[in-house]
Structure 1
Amino acid sequence: MFDLQNIKTIGRYQILKKIGQGSVGAVYLGKDPYIERQVAIKVYRLPNDTGPEEIEAYKKSFFVEAQSAGRLMHPNIVTIYDADQQQDFCYITMEYIDGSTLEKFCKPDNLLPIERVLKIIFNVCKGLEYAHQNEVIHRDIKPSNIILSLSGQVKITDFSIAYIKRGHSTLVKGLFGSPSYMSPEQVKEEFITERNDLFSLGSVLYELLVGKKAFEGENEYSIMFKIVNDDPPPILELKPELPKTFGDILSKALAKNPSQRYQCSMDFAYDLRLALRSLKEAPKETHDSELLSYIQDLPFFNNFAESQINEILSASNLVKVEKDKTIIQEGEIDDSFYILISGQVLVQTGTEEVAVLEKGQCFGEMAYLTGEARSATIITKEECIFLKFSSTLLNGLSEAIQLLFFKNFTQTIIKRLSKGTTTKT
């Protein structure tokens, strides 16, 4: 068993306690004394029975995680802080998440609510989309590599066998990954793309919904054979109360041919959002005609056709918020934007109140358009109702609707500039 024995510090980090154990390494809870924050420290002992070349190969393999995840800064990916070598072991320090992995929620007697499962996988999609945009393929998505914090945050961790597509690749040759969650192309050691991670995520979704793995077998070889040759038991046979769309989503995510799978994480995320809506469809439909009529009268939607507004309602969230609640926080990174259906909101930069927005106005559109951090805080002055959108949802709408949104965003920005309002939320 790996143990640091009497070592009390690693680099500048104080060791508090062991929180994870492996055959050749361990994870410790540590503390950065300068920044006064807790960190997780992943430690790997270098072999002492091999030559210098083999040791360098081991070090290179270990630091794959630092090189891949270290370039990624996203709310749904565990942040890497530091990596180094001390004596005969290497270490990586990273963000400490107080919570647990999804493993314990894969048991039939401890399943999460379906709505919660969809939201978790949706957030994993967002993290994977960011990683893939930065040309990092995780290659080991599984329940134990997805952390759910006590506050409900979802974090992808363990990029130790990740593949960096551009530049000097740190790809380790051979068959790597966890057999139950490998894609067919990964099992066959073929060229992999981002769609490899989406197959693995489909396997995780399947397991979270029914409490059993999509591909089971007596040993690793039988599992891998099934991944390549067999389909998993249909989800609707195991859980017939699920809407039909769940079967469609998993069939696409777990397609043997990568070209028949979701082509990017946000495609997957969009269908998850539709599935989430299907769980709530019945109680919402009684209000659709009234809501449609009401929204048509809002200035922002004057140039939208009724059919287009119907499409928008099917892909947005209607949110009610109490008085004096913060909707957007200055400095946060989020691609959501809002259209105010009723009520008023206050716009603040720092402690200064700069504007009041009313029914029919939008906010948050600048962060959506630019991808930059929020430059203002939005607080409700009274009980408000909003339509909330994200880039994922908007990108899933028809091109004509997207063009109308951008046109209206432009007009909104021009009007604010002409009035001398510098609000950019």
Structure 2
Amino acid sequence: MEPDDELVVAGRYRLIALAGFGGMGRVWRAHDDLLDREVAVKEVLAPDDLPDPARAKIQRDTVREARAAARLDHPHVVGIFDVIQASGRSWIVMEYVPSRSLHDIVISDGPLPHRNAARIAASLLDALDAAHRAGVLHLDVKPQNVLIAEDGRVVLTDFGLATMITAPAGHDEPLMGSPFYIAPERVRDGASSRQADLWSLGATLYMAVEGRPPYDRPDAAEAITALLTEAPDPPQHPGPLHTVIAGLLTTDPERRLTADDARLALRNLNRRAVGVHAVPVSPRPAGKAVRYRSTAATPRWRGLLVAGIAAAIATIGATAGVRAYGSESVPAAVVTPVSASPTPPSVTLTDAVRDDEAPVSLPEGWLWHVDTAGFALPVPRGWQRGTTPDGVCFGDTNGVRSFTVEPGGPLDGRPLRRWQDAEQKPPPGYQKISMGPLLITGGGADWEYSWQPATGPRMHTYRMLLAAGDDRSYALTWTSRDADWSLDLPVQRILVNGFRDSAEPAVTWTIPGP
């Protein structure tokens, strides 16, 4: 939708197209002619059926809250540049964030895995903490106001720009907020506090992992009634984040999970979850060297990688996403054994890595491997190394577990689009489990699915795109049998957590903590 007539607000903000709308106004994508940049402009519109005094109060309150939010300078809070009263309306000029809302993502793609939702939760908690310290309450935290940028950044928007719901009996003025995400004490007592924002955060996370709000009712009135009289609907997708959600959705604000407690719980949850954050491993006994075999020093021998691994790589590479990095088929791999034998004479002492020098602690049965392709990682002893046209594959001798590393170019700020494009040509028997951005430095995205090769058992794959600076990236692919997925998760965790870019060995893809 475009403006009927070209409209320039305050002589500089040229409205281009409608980007979104709600009960309290419209958001336009606009151009700041003075600074020559793209911005978002919120046009505040009070409902027509309100009496004039109430409309005027809403305009004043909205502008006051926006001015307060403009004091915030936080990466997870949308930036507010200007507040204007012109043409009989209020306008709020904000940072323009190319993104999708959390609501749209869940509605379109389905509920998020608890791992991804926990990372979003940590960012939102940071945003609310920054606002609360500045004396600003949001009062309308909901999935529609959570933006997931193309680079994975999480942004909380619409401070003080709540929609309106019917006030309960005994209230003399409208109550602001979304009926499906408002805290019960705000409806019951009209009380607005930091704890009310935390309730709304819990309701937002509930929707993220369940695909529906905690009081999913046909209309707002029924939802409010349930809010005041019933417990939240039982979860249908249980997982570790529900412990945090339950603490935030405690009816009594005095007993509700505090921001500090929620932060600690999320940190513990992220540390336990399988992902790209570090998981501490007990150190091995002193004096045992952790060695690797350099592919430059190890004699190569040519042959076929175990059939199961080769088939898995070929299927994934040909049909499920390696296309973002290159070839359409994977021929027989060139295999180099990864062994625990003593370092050969051609490898100097500096090539051996000891426990106290390794970037991660390795459990028994693992060795540290530095690859000529420019990366390093822990590898189970006895696994084999194979090459494909686009990368390097490591697999066990039984051919049922493999880990592939594919170096690539810059992600260009759109890692999720890589997986979305790859999904257009899925492998046989494809069943999507999850797909979403990774909240890591430089951006990233992950994708989990199961599939059925032409022969053999059903397989399960987890893929990650990771930025490694501005000019390169990695695609990591872990595949094992679907029936063994849970049993193999510890192996996946060590491989992913230990992966390093040799050019920047100190870099880890750690999820920013709460």
TM-score range, shorter chain: 0.5 to 0.7
Q: 2:237 aligns with which of 236, 239, 244?
A: 239
Structure 2 counterpart of 1:260, one-letter code:
R
Tell me which residue corresponds to 1:40: 40
For residues 173 and 71 of structure 1, the distance between their equivalents in structure 2, rounded to whole angstroms, comes to 28
List per-residue Cα deviations over 1:182-237 (Å, max 9, x = no partner).
Answer: 111112134232111111111111111121221122432321222223222333xx
For residues 92 and 253 of structure 1, the distance between their equivalents in structure 2, rounded to whole angstroms, comes to 31
Return closer, same or farther for 1:22/1:3 CA change in 2, 3 Å cut-off.
farther
For residues 21 and 199 of structure 2, the distance between their equivalents in structure 1, rounded to whole angstroms, comes to 28
Alignment pair present for 1:199 and 2:192:
no
Any stretches of 5+ residues in structure 2 without a counterpart? 163-171, 291-353, 358-375, 378-406, 408-440, 442-500
Structure 2 counterpart of 1:226, one-letter code:
A
Q: 1:3·1:26 contact (CA, 8 Å) conserved in 2?
A: no
TM-score by length of 2: 0.51
Give % identity.
26
Q: 2:175·2:190 contact (CA, 8 Å) conserved in 1?
A: no
Structure 1 counterpart of 2:281, one-letter code:
D
SS in 1 for 2:30: strand
Taking only aligned residues, the RMSD between alpha carbons, in angstroms, comes to 4.3
For residues 19 and 391 of structure 1, the distance between their equivalents in structure 2, rounded to whole angstroms, comes to 29
Q: Which deviates the most, 96-105 or 271-280?
A: 271-280
For residues 249 and 23 of structure 2, the distance between their equivalents in structure 1, rounded to whole angstroms, comes to 32
Q: 2:179·2:223 contact (CA, 8 Å) conserved in 1?
A: yes
SS in 1 for 2:254: helix
Return closer, same or farther for 1:230/1:89 CA change in 2, 3 Å cut-off.
same
Alignment pair present for 1:290 and 2:283:
yes
Q: 1:108·1:212 contact (CA, 8 Å) conserved in 2?
A: no
Q: 1:76·1:154 contact (CA, 8 Å) conserved in 2?
A: yes
For residues 220 and 54 of structure 2, the distance between their equivalents in structure 1, rounded to whole angstroms, comes to 28
Q: 1:118·1:276 contact (CA, 8 Å) conserved in 2?
A: yes
Tell me which residue corresponds to 1:268: 262
Any stretches of 5+ residues in structure 1 without a counterpart? 163-171, 299-318, 324-335, 337-379, 394-425
How do 1:84-103 and structure 2 match up within 5 A?
Answer: 84-103=84-103
Q: 2:26·2:42 contact (CA, 8 Å) conserved in 1?
A: yes
Tell me which residue corresponds to 2:184: 184
Q: 2:175·2:187 contact (CA, 8 Å) conserved in 1?
A: yes
Shift of 1:150: 1.2
List per-residue Cα deviations over 1:29-62 (Å, max 9, x = no partner).
Answer: 1111222210011123589999986664343033
Q: 2:103·2:144 contact (CA, 8 Å) conserved in 1?
A: yes
Q: 1:64·1:161 contact (CA, 8 Å) conserved in 2?
A: no
Structure 2 counterpart of 1:57, one-letter code:
K
Residues matched between the structures, number? 308
Q: 1:108·1:210 contact (CA, 8 Å) conserved in 2?
A: no
How do 1:23-422 and structure 2 match up within 5 A?
Answer: 25-44=25-44, 56-107=56-107, 110-161=110-161, 174-235=174-235, 238-240=236-238, 242=239, 245-264=240-259, 266-280=260-274, 288-290=281-283, 382-385=503-506
For residues 63 and 124 of structure 2, the distance between their equivalents in structure 1, rounded to whole angstroms, comes to 23
For residues 201 and 391 of structure 1, the distance between their equivalents in structure 2, rounded to whole angstroms, comes to 18
Structure number with greater Rg is 2
TM-score by length of 1: 0.61
Return closer, same or farther for 1:272/1:234 CA change in 2, 3 Å cut-off.
farther
